[in-house]
């Protein structure tokens, strides 16, 4: 089955392709010639995820899905949340986002550094919309470790681990990550309804 992933991020494409496996061909919109930016103007993860999927569906009328992900830090009242990718402003920079996050968390003890990654995935097939949620609990480390991965992975320590998300293999990461959990629900849904 062919699916369009409403993203321009090849890191994410690699991650989700492993979850979907060989029965699915996952394409990015630019693989089909779309070179305009996909809008993300919602004020919630669910609104952004739906907006991106709807944008791609309206262009191609092919099965498509999108995700929107945010980091929710309890000590910061749930920030950066929906603004995670642009936390330090434009142009987007994971390194600057991490710097800002660590600055704002200075002096907060390890036990109060609880946080979670939340991912909302929206699927549109035949004009029908389905949404899936994934959450990964953890805490924010004191400084970035290992620059592998992307986003906040170098400072996010998943629950039950002593290392950051960026130090985990892709397979381990996919078993516990917010995106991995939401995408597995999506694959399960597809195999039940479109298999």
User: pLDDT per residue over 3-38, tens digit each?
Assistant: 999 998 888 898 899 899 999 999 999 999 998 889
pLDDT average, residue stretch 59-74: 96
The full DSSP string for the chain is -EEEE----HHHHHHHHHHH-TT-EEE-GGGGT--SPPP---SSHHHHHHHHHHHHHHHH-S-EEEEEEEEEEGGGTT-EETTGGGTT-SSP-HHHHHHHHHHHTTT--GGG-EEEEEEEEEEEETTEEEEEEEEEEEEE-SS-----SSTTGGGEEETT-SS-GGGS-HHHHHHHSHHHHHHHHHHHHHHHH--
Q: Rounded mean pLDDT of 159-176?
A: 90
Catalytic residue among 68, 74, 133, 162: 68
Say what the pLDDT of residue 7 is: 93
Average pLDDT, rounded, for the chain: 93
Please report the pLDDT score of residue 147 as a whole number. 67
Query: What local confidence, expressed as pLDDT, does residue 3 receive?
Result: 96
Tokens (6 digits) for 81: 């949340």
In this prediction, residue 146 has a pLDDT band, given cuts at 50, 70 and 90, of confident
By the 8 A CB rule, do 3 and 26 touch?
Answer: yes
| pLDDT at position 148 over 70 | no
Predicted model pTM? 0.88
Among the listed residues 106, 38, 29, the one whose alpha carbon sits nearest the alpha carbon of residue 68? 38
Q: Catalytic site residue 171?
A: no
Cβ atoms of 158 and 165 within 8 Å: the answer is yes
Instruction: Provide the pLDDT confidence category of residue 195 given band limits of 50, 70 and 90.
Output: low
Q: Total domain count for the chain?
A: 1
CATH number of the domain within which 141 lies: 3.90.950.10
Q: What's the confidence (pLDDT) of residue 11?
A: 81
Residues 29-61 pLDDT 10s:
999 999 888 999 999 999 999 999 999 999 999
Among the listed residues 18, 17, 45, the one whose alpha carbon sits nearest the alpha carbon of residue 31: 17
- pLDDT, one tens digit per residue, over 104-145 is 999 999 999 999 999 999 999 998 999 999 999 999 999 999
Q: Is the pLDDT of residue 64 over 80?
A: yes
| Domain region containing 156 | 2-193
Q: Is the pLDDT of residue 188 over 90?
A: yes
């Amino acid at each position: 089955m062919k699916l369009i992933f409403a993203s321009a991020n090849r890191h994410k494409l690699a991650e989700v392709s492993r979850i979907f496996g060989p029965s699915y061909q996952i394409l990015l919109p630019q693989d089909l010639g779309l070179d305009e930016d996909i809008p993300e103007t919602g004020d919630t993860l669910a609104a952004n995820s739906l907006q991106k999927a709807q944008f791609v569906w309206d262009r191609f009328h092919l099965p498509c899905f999108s995700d929107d992900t945010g980091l929710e830090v309890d000590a910061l009242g749930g920030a950066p949340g929906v603004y995670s990718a642009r936390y330090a402003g434009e142009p987007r920079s994971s390194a600057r986002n991490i710097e800002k996050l660590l600055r704002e968390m200075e002096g907060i003890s390890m036990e109060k550094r609880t946080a979670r990654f939340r991912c909302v995935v929206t699927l549109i097939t035949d004009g029908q919309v389905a949404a899936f949620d994934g959450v990964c609990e953890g805490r924010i480390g004191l400084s970035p470790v290992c620059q592998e991965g992307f986003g906040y992975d170098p400072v996010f320590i998943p629950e039950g681990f002593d290392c950051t998300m960026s130090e985990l293999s892709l397979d381990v990461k996919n078993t516990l990550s917010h995106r991995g959990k939401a995408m597995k629900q999506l694959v399960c849904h597809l195999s039940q309804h479109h298999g």
